[in-house]
């Protein structure tokens, strides 16, 4: 399995609004294309961040699923315009499990 960790820095004062929008609008849409491993937000350290990890069978599957997501009008018209307006920065990392990791 491949895991993608996405870290978004949200505009100050917008974290709760972003979380609500993702839960109500974004999550039902993206769940058709990716499996959520976990979702977190920060309260100590660097603030105003949400971190989420998604599971994919392969990088090729990820590429195809992301393509399908960006072709989904619900995603591009109902989620993205409002969500992206609340973001300052986005970062994406592919994570590879060590041989001793309980999640592989």
**Domains, the chain, with CATH or none:** 2-95 (3.30.70.100)
Is 90 exceeded by the pLDDT of residue 57?
yes
Query: Per DSSP, what are the bridge partners of residue 91?
Result: 7
Q: Give every CB contact of residue 59 below 8 A, 6+ residues apart in sequence.
A: 2, 94
**What average pLDDT does this structure show over 70-89?**
98
Is 90 exceeded by the pLDDT of residue 104?
no
Is 90 exceeded by the pLDDT of residue 86?
yes
E-strand stretches of 23-73: 35-41, 49-56
């Amino acid at each position: 399995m491949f895991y993608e960790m996405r870290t978004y820095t949200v505009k100050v004062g917008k974290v709760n609004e972003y979380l609500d929008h993702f839960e109500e609008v974004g999550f039902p849409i993206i769940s058709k294309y990716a499996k959520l491993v976990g979702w977190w937000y920060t309260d100590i350290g660097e603030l105003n961040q949400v971190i989420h990890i998604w599971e994919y069978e392969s990088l090729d599957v990820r590429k195809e699923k992301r393509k399908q997501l960006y072709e989904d009008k619900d995603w591009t018209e109902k989620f993205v315009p409002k969500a992206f307006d609340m973001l300052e920065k986005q970062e994406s990392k592919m994570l590879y499990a060590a041989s001793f990791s309980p999640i592989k």
